Structure 1
């Protein structure tokens, strides 16, 4: 199994156009995304991790006057995102080594963190919690069982991993976040959505 983000980026390069056509205006994850927005301020800064070509989520944030920073390991996805949303900032980056230079009111990672190497989940989550603004909200998806595996998709092998629901919640709680929502939203698929908010004293 290849955990190399450069390999992952090249795999997504191959399907970037397909992804863009399929998800630019789709409703996939929109219900959960809108639920997370119930907890965020009416405007602010958002961080989109594994932003792909942008599309549906960023279109929603545009209506709320959010400024979006998007990160993705695929150069072709980033090129499409810049074309689709020239008003926002997009960067080809590996979230495991990326260092934030500001805080964000809303951080979301839809179907992206499950590509992290297993030993990087906790460090990445800790870093994301640290760059949340006061009362900032984080929404992300994960697999419900701890471990790592490889699946075939688009005639290629993609690496997936998770530290599981319980360990993930422990990390968030230890960083002072309040859990707002946990849902296995595609049952019987093992697809989990978590929404958490930073607690201020």
Structure 2
């Protein structure tokens, strides 16, 4: 499934998503664990930022200037309204091009929607966007391959290259893995934290 189509699906539920998650703590403890590894706190990138909310607020509290990216135009609109002091782009991470580099990158429950063929190129891109001592935190599925699932009266696409491939890619791109966890076991939800030494 092309990211633009995923974006259109999230457009339909953007306000509902915002209302359900505006006060949520989902993923916040994991984010704070990752932020504990940061030594520089200047610029952060949130890939799949959605309507903003909890992650943007935490990053802001840590002193970051934040760039958010999402394939949903409606999500980006809400994020910009909620956090006027930061920058948000309606963009697909697969094709987004920037010369900026970031001290912290988070991609929470977002890149697992990418086409399977884009998993490795996008993870490589995120690694290359990190500053020296930069930290990456992202989620992926503990499965290899792709599938669709029904959620919110619609069909959503998911893909992953699995734990081993993800870890190899991080190391091939010069990062050190400092945390790996199936944080919702027995569900196949994995989050990783890695640092560019």
Same fold (TM over 0.5): yes
Task: Please tell me the TM-score bracket, short chain as reference.
Answer: over 0.9
Q: Out of 13, 16, 39, which is 1:15 matched to?
A: 13
Q: Residues 103 and 132 of structure 1 are in contact (CA less than 8 Å); yes or no, is this contact kept in structure 2?
A: yes
Q: How many residues align?
A: 197
- Alignment match, 2:57: 59
Q: Residues 42 and 64 of structure 1 are in contact (CA less than 8 Å); yes or no, is this contact kept in structure 2?
A: no
Cα distance in 2 between the residues matched to 1:84 and 1:74:
15
Q: Out of 64, 70, 82, which is 1:72 matched to?
A: 70
1:42: Cα distance to partner?
Answer: 5.3
Q: Out of 96, 99, 124, which is 2:97 matched to?
A: 99
Cα distance in 2 between the residues matched to 1:6 and 1:118:
15
The equivalences for 1:1-201 within 5 A come to 3-41=1-39, 43-199=41-197
Cα distance in 1 between the residues matched to 2:48 and 2:60:
18
Q: Detail structure 1 runs of 4+ shifted over 2 Å in the superposition.
A: none
5+ residue gaps, structure 1:
none
Evaluate the alpha carbon distance shift between residue 102 and residue 42 of structure 1 in structure 2; reply closer, same or farther with a 3 A threshold: closer
TM-score normalised according to structure 1 size: 0.96
SS at match of 2:68: strand
Cα distance in 2 between the residues matched to 1:6 and 1:172:
26
Cα distance in 1 between the residues matched to 2:179 and 2:85:
31
1:25: Cα distance to partner?
Answer: 1.8
Cα distance in 1 between the residues matched to 2:3 and 2:44:
23
Q: Residues 53 and 79 of structure 1 are in contact (CA less than 8 Å); yes or no, is this contact kept in structure 2?
A: yes
1:183: Cα distance to partner?
Answer: 0.2
Question: For structure 1, which segment, 189-198 or 60-69, has the greater mean C-alpha deviation from structure 2 after superposition?
Answer: 60-69
Q: 1:15-70: CA deviations, max 9, x gaps? A: 10111011112110011000001001352100000000000011111112100000
Cα distance in 1 between the residues matched to 2:22 and 2:110:
16
Cα distance in 1 between the residues matched to 2:40 and 2:128:
21
